[in-house]
Homo-oligomer: A and B are copies of this chain.
Amino acid sequence: MKGDKNKNDTRKWTEQEASAWTGLVQAQQTLIDKVELELKKQGFPSLGWYDVLWELERTDGGILRLNDLGKRVLLDKYNVTRLAQRLEEEGLVVRGQCPNDGRGITAAITEKGRKLRKKMWPVYEKVVRENFLCKFNSKELKELSNFIERIQASGLNESLSK
């Protein structure tokens, strides 16, 4: 552990590297912005709400612990707490005690929640299709997916906590 300073040290990026990274960030951000804009334009809640409703709906029984929910939608726990609160205030979700674990709180999607999600879907799907999916054929989509999976595969030695 001595003279290996420039092993993984700062380097100036190649054009390729810079464009891949900034492109990835900006493309995703722009897509998300478009989805959010369209949802709002049509009077729907944000994508964050959609994500939670969808994660619940796709789960057996439509119920999840806040903790699990948070992991799936990449939210910090304090934000899960509050989002669940807001969703409950709107009647889209019901909170309850977790049966096995005295610490656990569950969120279950309601009928109203399911209906709302279903109405939001076409709006969401249309934006993503027209701005993303439509640009790739099936083979390309697979290649892209493979690249992306590689990104997600955990890093060198990074902790995966969150």
Show the binding face of A for B, using Cβ within 8 Å: 8-11, 13-14, 16-17, 19-21, 23-34, 74, 121-122, 125-126, 128-136, 138, 140-145, 147-153, 155-156, 158, 162
Contact = CB atoms under 8 A, between A and B. Distances in A.
A23 B130 contact: no
- The prevalent SS among residues of A at the interface is helix
11 contacts: A10-B125, A14-B138, A16-B138, A23-B149, A23-B152, A24-B132, A27-B152, A28-B29, A30-B152, A131-B151, A132-B151
| This protein's copies in its complex | 2
Contact of A30 (B27, B74, B132, B136): B74
A47 to B, nearest CB: 9
